[in-house]
Every structure is written in structure tokens, then in C-alpha cells.
Amino acid sequence: MKSYSNATLCLTVVALALAARPLSAGPAHPVKAKASAIQVEMIRSDEIKLPAEFQISLYENLVRQLEKQGGFEHVYRDGDRRAANAPDLVVLHSTVRGFKAGSERARRVTTVAGATSITIHCEFKNTEGKVLLEKDVNGKVWFFGGNLRATYDFAKKTARVAHDNFNSSAHKS
Amino acid sequence: MKRSKFLVTFAMALAFAALAICNANAQQSSKPANNAIALTGLPGVKDNAKGRLTVEGGKLHFSYAKKSSDLKAVDIEDVVTGEDTQAAVGKTVSNLSMAAPYGSGRFLALFRTKFDTLTLRYRDENGALHGVIFALPAGGAEPIKKELLAQGAHTTVVEERAAAPASANSSKEPKQ
């Protein structure tokens, strides 16, 4: 009987400790840097030969996803002259670090093979060229969909990174 | 009993696949050569819009569902062709067939048709870079590319090919 009550006491202490942990932890969200606009440079693939349609699809999806969920007032494309007058501009440079062209047929037939995967090194820089944030982002397509769907996955993840780290009003979230 | 059931299912899957492929081929052959799908990037046009792609009057013209979109050939910085494959049967049928017993539906995934891709890069009036990807029936991209080049568009593929022998020659010259 005594051992039973001891076990219950131990369990209660552990449960309370686990429940209290999130309360004692620091702020969950990082402080966001101020950036009212972003300019997306064309995806670079100097070392890895990337099919032209992948490169364009990455770029177009990235622009679209940043417009949709990036949290910027303006999203400028590569070469857009209007970006020169934008305050707090962040420039996104993306370089392909890894690319594995999968097979939609293999995905359909086996469901375990044929994944298309793409890894891109993203650098968010200010107008002076100082790196504010850099991160490798991976895009994948596993089961259904064409190979180009990996570019959509990458774009969504990158837009999420931008949203989590930059804010047009620079408030803590 | 189980064996006969399996054979019947397999035969049905085969017959279904043959029918679907015949249907897909018939549809493909009845289409005109300049049918295209704007996969992404064409301004004012939804992704995967089906329409007709032509080059006339120095412009790339995509017409779809009583609407149209034009791009000036001279604004195009790069035209690249490629090829890919797609399922020979439609998306819905293909997805439904996945539920067929003994994995027989996956058999359909083996049948695929080739298609061409036409990838363009151009700059708008602000100098902003845009990219467009079209999907065309196999063999349909190269004639469009040639017409675009004839009407003022540029391509990096030819320039790369031309630069390769030139650079090879120049690298030989100092040795002589």
C-alpha cells in the first residue's frame, strides 16, 4: 500500500514538472528583424546542373509564396528597379546545393522510391550585403505529384522562414 | 478459387489499362499541334490553364477560354526546351485505380506519355524578371522556339554551344 502511494507521488511530481516546463522556458518566438520589402534574386545553380523548368518553377513559386505568406509589404523580383527606393529592403539569394531528380512513375508504382529532392542555401541580406539570416531549405515530393512539386514545397518552407524572421513593423511576436 | 479471382482482377485491370491508353492516344492525336498548357508564371493566367500557343506579329500569343495573354518576343531573354513524361491516363482515373485490389491499379502508372516543356525568361517594363513554363505535345516546343528566335527572342543554349567551340579554339591558340 505504501509503495503504491509512493509511486503515485512520484508520478504526480513528474507530471507537474513536465507541465511547468513550458511556463519556465524563454520566449518561444525569436525577435523579428524589420523588413518592409524583399527582393527575390534568380535561383543560382552554378555547381549543380538544374533543368531550366526547375529553376523557373523555384523562382516563380518563391515569389508567389512570399507574396502570400511572407508578411512583406512588397515582394520585388530580380532586377526590379522599384526596389532601389524601398526602405528596409531584404534581398534573398538562393543557391542550389543538392538536387535529385526522382521519378513520378517510381513513386506511383512503389510509393517508397522515386522521391524528388532539392536543397537550396538561402541567404537573406540587407542592401549593404550583410547576411541577416542564412539557412538550407529542402524541398521534396514523396508520393503524389509531378517532380516540379518539390519546388512548391521549397517555396512554402522558405516563405515560412521569412515570415518567422522578418516583419514589416518589427514587433516581437 | 483465390487464384481465379486474382486472374479475373488482373485481366480486368489489363483491359481497363488498354482502354484508357487507347482513349488517351486518340485524344492526343485529335488535338492540333499548338495546344499547350501554361504550367506557371504567365501573368493573368491561372496555373495549368489549357489553351493554344502561337507566335505571330513578334509576339507569343496564348489564348484560352475566350481570354488571351501576349509576350513580346524581343523581351524574351531565354528560351529553353525540355521534355518530361506524364501519366497516360487521367488524374482522377489514376487516383481511383490506386484502390484496385492486389496493387493492380499501380500497373496503370507504368504507362506514360512524353511531352515537351518550353521555358521562357523575360523582363517587364520595370526590369523585373519573370519565368514562364509551358507544356506542349511531344515535338511541339522546338518549332515555337525557332519562331520566337526568328522574331527577336534570345536563348542561352545556342550561345553556350557557340561559346564552347570558341573557347576551345581560344584555349588552343596560345599553345601554337
Q: What is the CATH number of the domain that holds B27?
A: 2.30.29.30
Helix pair A52-69, A149-165: axis angle to 10 deg: 40
User: What is each CA distance from B136 to A46, A150, B27, B47, B59, in whole angstroms?
Assistant: 28, 21, 14, 14, 18
CATH of A34-167, one of 3.40.50.720, 2.40.50.100, 3.40.50.10610, 3.40.1280.10: 3.40.50.10610
**Distance between CA atoms of residues B148 and B170, nearest Å:** 31
∠ CA B94-B96-B100, nearest 5°, is 100
DSSP string, chain B: -HHHHHHHHHHHHHHHHHHHHHHHHHHHHHS-TTEEEEEE--TT--TTEEEEEEEETTEEEEEETTEEEEEEGGGEEEEEEEEEEEESS-HHHHHHHTTSGGGGGGGGGG-EEEEEEEEEEEE-TT--EEEEEEEEETT-HHHHHHHHHHTT---HHHHHHHHHHHHHHHHHGGG-
Is B9 domain-assigned? yes
Q: A118 near A96, Cβ under 8 Å?
A: yes
Give the residue, B11 or A48, on which the prediction is more confident: A48
Q: How many angstroms separate the CA of residue A84 from the nearest CA in chain B? A: 11
pLDDT over 90 percentage in chain B = 40
Give the three cell numbers for residue A150: 518539390
Chain A: residue nearest B131 by CA? A56
Q: Do A104 and B130 touch (CB under 8 A)?
A: no
pLDDT over 90 percentage in chain A = 44
Does residue A109 carry a pLDDT above 80? Answer: no
Chain B residues within 8 A of A81 when measuring between CB atoms: 126-127
Chain B residues within 8 A of A105 when measuring between CB atoms: 85, 109-110, 112
Chain A residues within 8 A of B94 when measuring between CB atoms: 108
Which domain covers residue B72, as residue numbers? 2-170
Q: Do A51 and B82 touch (CB under 8 A)?
A: yes
B46-85, pLDDT tens digit by residue? 998 999 999 999 999 999 988 899 999 999 999 999 876 5
Is B90 domain-assigned? yes
Give the three cell numbers for residue A166: 522578418
Q: A118 near A94, Cβ under 8 Å?
A: no
| Single-letter amino acid code for the residue at B16 | F
Closest by Cα among B15, B56, B49 to B35: B49
Q: B100 near B151, Cβ under 8 Å?
A: no
* Overall average pLDDT of the B129-147 stretch: 92
- Looking at every residue in chain B, the average pLDDT score rounds to 74
Does residue A68 carry a pLDDT above 70? Answer: yes
Total number of domains constituting chain B: 1
A13-62, pLDDT tens digit by residue? 555 555 554 444 444 556 778 888 999 999 998 888 888 988 999 999 99
State the pLDDT at residue B29.
41
Give the three cell numbers for residue B96: 481511383
Flag whether residue A68 sits within 8 Å of chain B, measured between CB atoms.
no
DSSP string, A94-113: EEEEEEE---HHHHHHHSSS
Chain A: residue nearest B116 by CA? A53
State the pLDDT at residue B173.
38
Give the residue, B115 or B106, on which the prediction is more confident: B115
Give the residue, A170 or B153, on which the prediction is more confident: B153
H or E element that contains A154 = helix A149-165
Does residue A130 carry a pLDDT above 70? Answer: yes
| A143-157, B8-22, B34-48, B134-148: segment of lowest average pLDDT | B8-22
- Looking at every residue in chain A, the average pLDDT score rounds to 80
Is B27 domain-assigned? yes
Q: Do B110 and A79 touch (CB under 8 A)?
A: no
Q: Do B129 and A78 touch (CB under 8 A)?
A: yes
> What's the ipTM?
0.76
Does residue B5 carry a pLDDT above 90? Answer: no
**Distance between CA atoms of residues B47 and B166, nearest Å:** 40
State the pLDDT at residue A172.
44
